[in-house]
């Protein structure tokens, strides 16, 4: 079972329906026990960082997120749900994130339209010695097009697994073990997005490994 965390921020069913389209047993979950019982967890997010962070905390699901990530359960953050995995955001100074990934969410570079609301190409970080390629992008070609809607993105760190060019390199995804996050919307990114979600579903089917 894949839990899509419902913490009252709306637009959750698109992710749930995309996962169900792939044959996954995806369900909206609004309680910590349901999240902790899942084989995989998805944290969507739309809007601003601060309200999403407060809603997650008020729901009590923030502790569940830390619990499932700490247990090694496959986890995927999407858009603002990805940003919440970091320490904080320039969009909402003083509002802490979950701190599960190092770094801060920054405003997109100057000189480009804000928000980025378009298709853009993924520049995948190639495998390196001691670091395999991202399992989330297995079978996904470098340069594939995905759909973005955002004005902020996490800074580039050692956990960045792909970027896009929007006034300079912008983090498009990051990972730490079975913890993944994507700034783009895979549920709105056609066949490429479904392939990425299918890789996540396949990982949850192997949990616990």
- Does the active-site annotation cover 164? no
Structural domain spans, the chain: 2-205
Residue range 18-56, pLDDT digits in tens:
999 999 999 999 999 999 999 999 999 999 999 999 999
Residue 129 has pLDDT above 60, yes or no: no
| For residue 209, pLDDT beyond 60 | no
CATH number of 2-205: 3.40.50.880
The residues, any chain, with a CB within 8 Å of residue 6's CB and separated by 6 or more, are 12, 28, 29, 30
- Res. 207 pLDDT band, cuts 50 70 90: confident
Which of 193, 124, 104 minimizes the C-alpha distance to 165? 124
Catalytic residue among 16, 52, 79, 150: 79
Which is catalytic among the residues 150, 164, 175, 185?
185
117 CB-side CA count, 13 A:
3
Query: Known catalytic residue: 185?
Result: yes
């Amino acid at each position: 079972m894949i839990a899509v965390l419902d913490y009252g921020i709306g637009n959750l069913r698109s992710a749930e329906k995309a996962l169900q389209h792939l044959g996954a047993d995806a369900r909206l979950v609004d309680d910590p026990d349901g999240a902790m019982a899942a084989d995989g967890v998805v944290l969507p997010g739309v809007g601003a960082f601060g309200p999403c962070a407060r809603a997650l905390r008020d729901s009590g699901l923030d502790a569940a997120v830390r619990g499932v990530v700490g247990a090694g359960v496959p986890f995927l953050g999407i858009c603002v749900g990805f940003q919440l995995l970091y320490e904080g955001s320039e969009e909402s100074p003083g509002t802490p994130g979950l701190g599960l990934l190092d770094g801060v969410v920054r405003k997109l570079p100057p000189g480009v339209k804000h928000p980025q609301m378009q298709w853009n190409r993924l520049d995948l970080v190639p495998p390196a010695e001691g670091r395999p390629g991202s399992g989330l992008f297995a079978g996904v070609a470098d340069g594939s097009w995905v759909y973005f809607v955002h004005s902020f993105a996490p800074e580039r760190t050692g956990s960045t697994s792909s970027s896009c060019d929007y006034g300079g390199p912008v983090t498009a995804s990051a990972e730490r073990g079975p913890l993944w996050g994507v700034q783009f919307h895979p549920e709105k990114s056609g066949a490429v997005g479904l392939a990425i979600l299918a890789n996540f579903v396949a990982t949850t089917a192997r949990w616990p490994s």
